[in-house]
Each structure stands twice: as C-alpha cells, then as structure tokens.
C-alpha cells in the first residue's frame, strides 16, 4: 500500500495523468467519487479559488489530505475565456444540455469555441492548470502550483488522444495538436505536468517527502510524515 491522497475529481483521464506524475512519491490517488464524496461547488472566477475550494471539500469529507486541480483553456482573443468555465462552455451558452456524457459535452465545447473563433486571425491560447494540495480541510498552508502550456487554436480538431480541448490546441514546439501527442510526451510537457513538477517539489520540501525519504520502506508507508510512523 501507499500513502493515500484524495483527488477532488472523478475524471478518469485526469486521474491517469496525475497518478503517473505523482507516482515517484509513493502516493496513490483515490478519486472522491470512489469514496462517495460529491463534487464541490465551483462558484469562483479564478482557477486557484476553485481548486482550493475543491481540495478543502474533499479533505473535509475524507478526513485526510487532498489534491484538487482546476484547469482550462484561456483564449487571448476572448479575453481569457472560457477559462474556469471551460468544461461548461457550451452548456453555459445553451448549446447542449447539462448532464450528458463527458465526451458529448467536450465535442460541443469544441464546436462552440470554433464557432466563436471563426474568421479570427489572432488564435493564441494556452492551457492553464492550478494544483492545490492540503494536509487537512483547515490547512493554513495549502500547496499551490501553476502551469501554463501555450499554443494556437486550430480551425478543426486534430488527434485522438487526451480530452477536453486537446484536439484544438496546436503545440508549435512539437508540430502537433495536444491530442496528437503520445500520452507519455504530453505527461512530460503539459500544463498539468508543469504544475505537478512544481507541486512535487513543494511536497518534498514542505510535507517531508524529500529525496532522503524515497527508500523502499518510506515509499511503502501508508502514513504521511505528520501522522506518525504507522505503516
């Protein structure tokens, strides 16, 4: 067994991405949904406020440390929209009903964004990710890490990997859309990967998961450093 960190998300693809990134610390991510924890409200207008609210909500319900991600696509020509409303962009516009399968909503979001950007020459955009980790619901020192991944919007979807707006964001450094990248490459260079790298540095330094603790015994321990020596 490994130390358990509650993930304040039920997105299976996001879980796989984050689990691969955080595995070196000997930490197992457990989705809040698998524990019967409902999703938190996300009423805020910034990624960091929403991520913090979700992390505290999951930590309170699970009585343990939690990790939350709030991320989205920010389009320069739209003043940063859809931003925190990325996952609901088409729903907010009345283009699709709420509650449909995620794949259908993703497709509707992409279609609506392409409609908005029709004829727009300035197509700069970036994915933004904020990760927040808390030791407990009232943690006064949440760990906050941010990552951005810049590119340009395509005029039509390209690629089968990833999720969300990945088929629409062209990554010039790799000559492919985010959805065309091999998942292993994406996990090394994406906005979530950048944020996770920074978060892991903070977890090692501030949560006691430093390089010296990365022994087989330490990695197998189920207790966090502040919880004592139980394993």
Quote the mean pLDDT of the chain. 90
Contact between 195 and 146 (Cβ < 8 Å) = yes
What average pLDDT does the segment 154-168 reach? 94
221 vs 80 pLDDT, higher one: 80
pLDDT per position as a tens digit, 46-77 = 999 999 999 999 999 999 999 999 999 999 99
Q: What is the pLDDT of residue 230?
A: 43
Distance CA(77)–CA(81), nearest Å, equals 8
Residue 164: closest CA among 98, 85, 93? 85
Contacts of 215 (CB under 8 A, 6+ apart): none
Q: Quick check: helix, strand or coil at residue 68?
A: strand
Distance CA(157)–CA(210), nearest Å, equals 42
Q: What is the pLDDT of residue 224?
A: 83
Distance CA(108)–CA(67), nearest Å, equals 28
**How crowded is residue 126: how many other Cβ atoms within 10 Å of its Cβ?**
18
pLDDT per position as a tens digit, 123-137 = 999 999 999 999 999
Q: Quick check: helix, strand or coil at residue 35?
A: helix
pLDDT class for 227, splitting at 50, 70, 90? confident
Q: What is the pLDDT of residue 20?
A: 84
Q: What is the pLDDT of residue 141?
A: 97
Residue 201: closest CA among 131, 109, 117, 121? 131
Report, as residue numbers or ranges, the catalytic residues.
70
15 vs 177 pLDDT, higher one: 177
Distance CA(167)–CA(204), nearest Å, equals 34
Q: What is the pLDDT of residue 218?
A: 54
Q: What is the pLDDT of residue 228?
A: 63
pLDDT class for 221, splitting at 50, 70, 90? low
Q: What is the pLDDT of residue 79?
A: 97
Q: What's phi and psi for 219, nearest 5 deg?
A: -65, -30
Q: What is the pLDDT of residue 211?
A: 47
Contact between 47 and 129 (Cβ < 8 Å) = yes
pLDDT per position as a tens digit, 163-219 = 899 999 999 999 999 999 998 898 889 999 999 999 999 999 999 876 445 555 555
Task: Tell me if the domain spanning 3-227 has CATH number 3.20.20.210.
Answer: no
Domain boundaries, the chain: 3-227
């Amino acid at each position: 067994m490994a130390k358990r960190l509650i993930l304040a998300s039920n997105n299976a693809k996001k879980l796989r991405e984050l689990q691969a990134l955080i595995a070196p610390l000997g930490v197992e991510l457990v989705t809040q949904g698998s524990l019967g924890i409902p999703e938190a409200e996300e009423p805020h207008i910034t990624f960091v406020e929403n991520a913090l609210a979700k992390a505290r909500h999951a930590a309170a319900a699970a009585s343990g440390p939690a990790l939350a991600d709030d991320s989205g696509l920010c389009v320069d020509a739209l003043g940063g929209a859809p931003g925190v409303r990325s996952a609901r962009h088409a729903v907010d516009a009345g283009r699709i009903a709420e509650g449909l399968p995620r794949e259908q909503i993703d497709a509707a979001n992409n279609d609506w964004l392409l409609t908005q950007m029709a004829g727009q020459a300035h197509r700069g955009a970036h994915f933004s990710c904020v990760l927040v980790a808390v030791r407990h619901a009232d943690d006064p020192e949440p760990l906050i890490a941010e990552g951005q991944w810049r590119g340009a919007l395509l005029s039509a979807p390209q690629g089968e990997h990833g999720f969300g707006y990945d088929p629409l964001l062209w990554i010039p450094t790799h000559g492919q859309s985010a959805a065309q990248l091999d998942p292993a490459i994406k996990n090394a260079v994406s906005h979530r990967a950048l944020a996770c790298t920074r978060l892991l540095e903070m977890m090692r330094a501030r949560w006691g998961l430093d390089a010296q603790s990365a022994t087989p015994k330490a990695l197998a321990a189920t207790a966090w450093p502040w919880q004592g020596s139980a394993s």
